[in-house]
A and B are shown apart, each in its own frame.
Chain A
C-alpha cells in the first residue's frame, strides 16, 4: 500500500440539466477523463449548499467540484447566479480556514459540452493530484 501513488478523491456536484448531461455525453462519446471524480447529481448548482463542500472536505475529499449551467442558462432561471456569489465567497473562506482554495472548482459546463466536461475534470484532477492529500481528512462520528 505505501507504494501506491496518491490518487485524489474528488467529489463533483453536477447540475442535472447541464453538467450531468454533459458527463453523460462525455461517456457516450467515449471521451476519456480522469476517473477520480465521484459524481453527485443535484437539481441545480443553486442547490449546492456551501456546507456540502465543507462536509465533503471533512469526510475526506481532496477536491470538490461544483459544475452548473452557464450564467443565463439556468433551468430555474437564476439558481446559478446565487451559486456564483456563494462559491466566490466560499473559495476565499476555505483559504482563510487553511484549505487551499485550488481544491475547490466552480465551472459552467453545458449539456452539449461533453468534451469540455472531460477537460475540466481532468485538469482539476491533475491540479489536486499535484497538491497532494488534503489534511482535513478526519471522518466524523455521526450521531442522530
Chain B
C-alpha cells in the first residue's frame, strides 16, 4: 500500500501536477507526523500505518498559497482517509480552495489505533471514531489506494452510548458533567488549531471588538468558549475528532460535536462533508418546514 502511495506522490510531483504533497512521515521515537513533500526524490519518506490519525485536510489552506507575489497558488496533493475527505468536502463547499488546484489521494482505511506511535504505551483499541466508522473508503478523490476492508466488527458506538447516558441525566447533572470537563480546559485552543473547519481569520475567541470571551481562565469563560466552538461547527463538523485527540487534558469535545452531528442528521438528514455542494443546514432553510421551538 505504501509503495503505491509513494509512487503516486512521486509521479504527481515529477509531472508537476502538484507542487507539494501532504502526507505522513516517520517522526521521532516511533511517532508519525505530517510531511510536506516538495520533490519527487523525497516521496520515499512517506509512511502509512495505524498511527496516521492526523487530518491532513487541515494543512491544505496553509499550503495552497502563492510562492511569490503575483504567481498562482501552489497546487496541493493531499493524502486523505474517509473522515479527512469529508472534512475536505466542507472546505471545498465553503470555497476555501478550488478543487482544480488539489489532487486528492484517498487511502482506504483500516482504522487508527489508540496509542499507536507512542513508544512505551500499550497499543489500544481502534480510536472511538474509527470503531463506528462505516465509510472506510474516501469518496470524491482523484485516486484511491487500497481496498475497502472486509466488514469488520459491529460498531461499538461508544460515543453514541455516552450521548445517550448524558441525555438520560437531569439538566443539573449534565451541567455538573460539563463543568467538570470545562474546568480542566487550559484555553490553549489546540482544538481550534487542529480543526480543518476552524479557518476564520479572526477567531471569536480572540476578537476584542466586541470582546466575546473574558481573558480569565475560569469555568464561565471556558464554558462560553466551548459553546461557541461547538456551535460554530454545527453542520460543518465532519467527525474527524482531531479536536478531542489534540486536547492536552482530554476534554470530551468529540461528544459536543457528535451531539450536533446526530441532531442535524436527525432533523435535516444531512451529514457534514457528504458532498462538496449541499449548503450547510444553518446557512439554508426551507420556508415550509416546521421545527420545534
Contacts and interface: CB of A to CB of B under 8 A. Distances in A.
Partners in one complex: yes
A129 interface: no
Nearest to B255: A96
B4 interface: no
Nearest to A96: B259
Nearest to B207: A144
Given A85-B281, A144-B211, A72 B287 contact: yes
Given A84-B285, A98-B171, A144 B208 contact: yes
A58 interface: yes
B260 A89 contact: yes
Contacts of A39: none
Contact of A142 (B174, B211, B260): B211
Interface stretch (B34-42, B93-101, B227-235): B227-235
B285 A78 contact: yes
Nearest to A139: B220
A17 B159 CA distance: 44
Interface residues of B, number: 47
Interface residues of A, number: 37
Interface string A78-122: 100110111111111101111110000011000000000000000
B293 A84 contact: yes
A136 B220 contact: yes
The dominant DSSP class at the B interface is helix
Contacts of B219: 138
B224 A135 contact: no
A98 B226 CA distance: 14
B157 interface: no
Contacts, number: 116
Given A96-B166, A143-B215, A91 B292 contact: yes
B67 interface: no
Nearest to B216: A141
Nearest to B175: A98
B178 interface: yes
B281 A99 contact: no
B227 A71 contact: no
Nearest to A95: B171
Contacts of B199: none
Pick the most buried of B166, B173, B287: most chain A CB atoms within 10 A of its CB.
Answer: B287
Contacts of A82: 282-283, 285
A51 interface: yes
A47 interface: no
Interface string B251-293: 0000010011001100100000000000001110111010111
Closest 8 CB pairs of A and B: A98-B175, A143-B215, A144-B211, A98-B174, A81-B285, A140-B214, A144-B208, A88-B291
Interface of A: 50-51, 54-55, 58, 71-72, 78, 81-82, 84-93, 95-100, 106-107, 135-136, 138-144
17 contacts: A50-B231, A54-B224, A54-B231, A55-B224, A78-B285, A85-B285, A86-B282, A89-B264, A97-B178, A97-B227, A98-B171, A99-B175, A100-B171, A140-B214, A142-B211, A143-B214, A144-B215
